[in-house]
Structures are given as structure tokens and as C-alpha cells.
Chains A and B, each alone.
Chain A
Amino acid sequence: MGNFNFSIDLPVRSEWANVDLLRTSVQNCFTAIFSDIEGCHSLAMVTGELIENAIKYGDWSGTDEQRFRLRVWGEGRSAHISVENPVHSNDTNADQVMQTIGWMRAFPSSIEAYRAKLLEVASAERDPGDSKLGLVRIAYEGNCMLSAELTRGVLRVQAELTV
């Protein structure tokens, strides 16, 4: 992909059908702009996995509108994808997200972290729904740097890709 500047910032209803709507929208938008189809697929996959996590683990028990925030922006050869969702004060998912990101950094490469996570999933009990495989996958397949921050009950997970 060549140099680019763009920004998308959306308040999205927390509904599962929106995962694929947004994943394919991101893919279609960037396919329309850039010729690197595989790079667009990576951006879309990262977007989809982050949104899935927000919907699965966000705190949607409040009476306010149940929305998460999706931002996709880029400058130069860097693309950023950020998803923010509310979390319950007693929820352990945010800690698990940050622990997983720290765990990945202990590996020399993202492929080695991903292989280790695949083996961990294989050795776990049936349906290890909170394995965080998606996070490790986007670091590997998306070639991303991941970061996460918990501020005032909102978890923001951000991926940075060099394209």
C-alpha cells in the first residue's frame, strides 16, 4: 500500500450481526482505495476479532445505549484499529486482555506466541471460550503491535499495523 491518511470513527450497536457488517465494510473500503488485497484482508480480520471481543466481553447491562466505539485511522504507512467498550467493575476480562498482551511480548516472535496459544487451546477443556486466541491471532496474522488500556470503566484495545 502507498502512503495514506484516513479516519473512521463509529459508535456501533453491540449486536453480533455488526461484526461481519463492519469487517466486510472495512475490507471493502480499503479494497476500493488500495491494490493490496491481502493487506486489506488483514485489516478486516483484525477489526473483526477486536469487535468480537468487545461484544463478547463488554458490559452491556447498563440502561444507556449499548454501543462500542470503533476507530480505524492511518497515516504514512501505519494503520491503527481501536475498539472501546464498557467493562463491569468486577469483570476479569480486561486484566486477561492485558495479561495476554504481556504474555505475547515474552516470545521472540508473534508466530511462536501463536503456536504456543494453539497448543494451550488444544490442551484445555472443551470450549475454552476465553482463551484469547483471537488477540494472539491478530498479532500474528495481522502482524500487529497490540496495546490495551483500562480507563474509567472503558477498555480500549488498539492494534497498529505497518502496511
Chain B
Amino acid sequence: MQSLIVGDLKIEALENGVPPAVQLLWKGKSNERHPNEALAPYFREVLATAGTRKLPIELHFEKLEHFNSSTITSIIQLIQDSRARSIKLVLVYDQALKWQKLSFDALRVFAKDDMLELRAA
């Protein structure tokens, strides 16, 4: 998996977790006007890789400084797409950061089965 750099955002891709997973480490700030133009094709590639290798996807936001609401929309689309392909998605956030706790606690509205896990680090 390639990493993604778009504006102030870097998403570093790793494939060596325990248990194995496609890990995406978000760093910096996601503040583009149309973040989905870069994120949607990248997420398609991630879903294809995870699907082929039968791995879950872990998104790590602990090092992320900020994301705008357009980025949240892109993440919601990834939640929908991963569920449609029966690929488990894990969102890991830093609960000590109030903004992350608020943002990701609200996304629990989508955690209606074990295909989506929100994990406080």
C-alpha cells in the first residue's frame, strides 16, 4: 500500500499489525476544500487491498491535529463502503483529546454490528 500526501495531510500505510490489518496512520491536518477528490480513490485502493488479503482496515487518528467536516463525510463513505464489502473497519482515536472524543463518539451511531469498531486509545 502506498501512503497518501494531500495538502497538510499525510496518511501512512502499514500492513504489519498484530493482529494483521491494513493500518492507515493519519498525521497533520485534513483541511482541503474537496478532500474526497483525493481520499475516495485512495480508499478504493485500500478496500481492494484489504479485500484481496482478507484483512481488516484500521484507521489511526491519534496523531491527527484537525479534520474538517468534509473529511468526516469521506470517512462516513468509507464506513458505508467497507460494510458493503464485508471488510471490518476499526477507527482508533485519542480519547484524551476532547475534539477526537466528541467526533468519534458521535460516529458510534454507525457501529450497529461488528463490522465497525471505534477504539479509544
Contact = CB atoms under 8 A, between A and B. Distances in A.
26 contacts: A16-B33, A20-B8, A20-B31, A38-B97, A42-B98, A44-B66, A45-B66, A45-B99, A49-B68, A52-B33, A52-B70, A56-B33, A111-B106, A115-B109, A118-B72, A118-B76, A118-B107, A121-B73, A127-B73, A128-B73, A129-B70, A133-B73, A134-B68, A134-B70, A137-B69, A140-B106
B33 A133 contact: no
Interface of A: 16, 19-20, 23, 38, 41-42, 44-45, 48-49, 52, 55-56, 111, 114-115, 118-119, 121-122, 126-129, 131, 133-134, 137, 140-141
Contacts, number: 64
A38 B110 contact: no
A115 B79 CA distance: 15
A12 B80 CA distance: 37
B86 interface: no
Contacts of A118: 72, 76, 106-107, 109-110
Contacts of B109: 115, 118-119
B95 interface: no
Interface of B: 8, 29, 31, 33, 36, 66, 68-70, 72-73, 76-77, 79-80, 97-99, 102-103, 106-107, 109-110
